[in-house]
């Protein structure tokens, strides 16, 4: 049966590298949104917790509920305030625009998203004082603020500019905290690419939100030495000989020029893989070729092994399909079996 293997040693290795660069484990938040980037939320949460991370960042309340026992703090990024928020003291809701402060349940813990350069979410400087006033009135518990880099992964000036904008807002936010009696606010801004690029990270006091790097994918050459955590394995369903001129799969896109042995495996685009259309030569694991169009639940290959590694480096897939490794990983179906291996 097809299976995802999660390497505990690779995961711990990556977290060690990242924590060493940040200089303090307590400042590292694990971004586990979207089923831990397709890796498996339950499995990765357990590992992150075993490693000693105390804070997780997720997409929504349902993800937060499912990993509640593993962390001291869970930041929920994509929540639309509805007045029915959980009273769980570990949950911290991101406030993505001012109206969310009007609707969120009294007593909720929140962090204010600061709109710097990305303009996707967040409050502007001129809204902050009102935000503190309203929070005081509505008994909303502000416990920090953060922003998100829009271009840390590109070697452009935006990274430095946004960092400066954040530091300015942070200073003002701290003044407001003092004025409104908010104690010990937490600040965080770096994503994976930001962690890689900031040479001064160990001397800063903000926390970081590490996503893709913990799963083993660095974005810059000079960066951390990371190891992919996930590998995806398919099992052989059947085997046959293609005679010369016989073609395999829908549309017969691949035809044997000489007699050849092929096998068909139990993974397809129904499992969240991007669909190979049979054109070009797709060497999906640096060794074996996919032959003809991928089916919903299967594909054929010139490999004959019983167990076949389909993804060991998501960059191979990302390059072939002109996308990013996140896109390859996050789509892997939650119903695939996931096992943690050493």
Ligand X SMILES: *Cc1c(COP(=O)(O)O)cnc(C)c1O
Beta strands 186-190 and 141-146, pairing class: parallel
> SS3 breakdown of the chain: % helix, strand, coil, rounded to 5?
35, 25, 40
DSSP state of 329: H
**Choices 7-15, 82-90, 205-213, 289-297; region in contact with ligand X by CB under 6 A:** 205-213
Contact status: 210 vs ligand X (CB under 6 A) = yes
Q: Is 33 a catalytic residue?
A: yes
Q: Is 183 a catalytic residue?
A: no
CB 256 within 8 A of CB 242: yes
Rg (CA), the chain: 23
- Which sign does the torsion angle of CA 206, 209, 210, 212 carry? negative
Kindly list the distances between the CA atom of residue 106 and the CA atoms of 77, 127, 155, in Å, as whole numbers in the listed order.
Answer: 18, 20, 42
Q: Which is nearer to ligand X, 2 or 57 (CB)?
A: 57
Contact status: 300 vs ligand X (CB under 6 A) = no
Contacts with ligand X by CB under 6 A: the residue count is: 12
Q: Which is nearer to ligand X, 131 or 212 (CB)?
A: 212
Contact status: 148 vs ligand X (CB under 6 A) = yes
**Choices 103-111, 189-197, 237-245, 268-276; region in contact with ligand X by CB under 6 A:** 189-197
Kindly list the distances between the CA atom of residue 295 and the CA atoms of 108, 248, 306, in Å, as whole numbers in the listed order.
Answer: 47, 11, 19
Q: Which is nearer to ligand X, 90 or 148 (CB)?
A: 148
Give min distance, CB of 212 to ligand X, in A. Answer: 4
Q: Which is nearer to ligand X, 152 or 309 (CB)?
A: 152
Active-site position among 136, 137, 139, 250: 250
Q: Which of residues 251-270 bind ligand X (CB under 6 A)?
A: none
**Choices 61-69, 102-110, 186-194, 226-234; region in contact with ligand X by CB under 6 A:** 186-194
**What's the CA angle centered on 272, arms 269 and 278, to 5 degrees?**
30
Give min distance, CB of 115 to ligand X, in A. Answer: 12
Q: Which is nearer to ligand X, 144 or 211 (CB)?
A: 211
The pair of three-digit structure tokens given for residue 328, joined into one six-digit string:
């390859």
Give min distance, CB of 252 to ligand X, in A. Answer: 40
Contact status: 31 vs ligand X (CB under 6 A) = yes
C-alpha to C-alpha distance for 131 and 283, rounded to whole angstroms: 53
Contact status: 145 vs ligand X (CB under 6 A) = no
Contact status: 28 vs ligand X (CB under 6 A) = no
CB 48 within 8 A of CB 58: no
**Choices 163-171, 176-184, 187-195, 273-281; region in contact with ligand X by CB under 6 A:** 187-195
Alpha helices (H) along the chain = 8-22, 33-37, 41-51, 61-66, 98-103, 125-138, 158-180, 192-197, 314-320, 325-330
Give min distance, CB of 81 to ligand X, in A. Answer: 17
Q: Which of residues 50-89 bind ligand X (CB under 6 A)?
A: 77
Catalytic positions, please? 33, 250
Enumerate binding residues for ligand X (CB under 6 A). 31, 33, 77, 148, 191-193, 209-213
């Amino acid at each position: 049966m097809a299976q995802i293997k999660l390497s505990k040693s690779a995961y711990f290795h990556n977290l060690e590298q990242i924590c060493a660069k940040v200089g303090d484990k307590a400042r590292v938040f694990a971004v586990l949104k979207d089923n831990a980037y397709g890796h498996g939320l339950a499995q990765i949460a357990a590992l992150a917790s075993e490693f000693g991370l105390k804070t997780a960042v997720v997409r929504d309340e349902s993800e937060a509920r499912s990993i509640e026992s593993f962390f001291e703090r869970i930041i929920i990024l994509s929540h639309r305030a509805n007045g029915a928020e959980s009273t769980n003291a570990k949950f911290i809701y991101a406030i993505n625009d001012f109206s969310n402060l009007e609707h969120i349940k009294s007593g909720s813990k929140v962090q204010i998203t600061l709109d710097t350069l990305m303009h996707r979410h967040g409050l502007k400087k001129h809204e902050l004082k009102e935000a503190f006033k309203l929070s005081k009135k509505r008994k909303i518990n502000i416990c920090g603020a953060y922003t998100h880099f829009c271009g840390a992964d590109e070697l452009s000036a935006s990274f430095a500019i946004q960092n400066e904008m954040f530091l300015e807002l942070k200073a003002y936010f701290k003044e407001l905290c003092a004025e409104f009696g908010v104690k010990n606010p937490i600040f965080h801004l770096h994503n994976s690419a930001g962690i890689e690029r900031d040479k001064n990270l160990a001397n800063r006091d903000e926390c970081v939100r590490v996503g893709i790097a913990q799963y083993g994918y660095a974005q810059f050459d000079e960066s951390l030495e990371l190891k992919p955590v996930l590998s995806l394995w398919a099992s052989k369903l059947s085997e046959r000989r293609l005679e010369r001129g016989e073609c395999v799969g829908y549309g017969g896109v691949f035809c044997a020029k000489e007699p050849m042995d092929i096998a068909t495996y139990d993974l397809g685009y129904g499992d969240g893989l991007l669909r190979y259309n049979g054109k070009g030569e797709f060497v999906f694991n640096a060794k074996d070729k996919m032959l003809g169009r991928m089916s919903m639940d299967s594909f054929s290959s010139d490999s004959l092994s019983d167990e076949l590694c389909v993804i060991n480096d998501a960059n191979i897939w990302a390059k072939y399909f002109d996308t990013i490794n996140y896109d390859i990983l996050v789509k892997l179906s939650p119903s695939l079996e996931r096992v943690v291996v050493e």
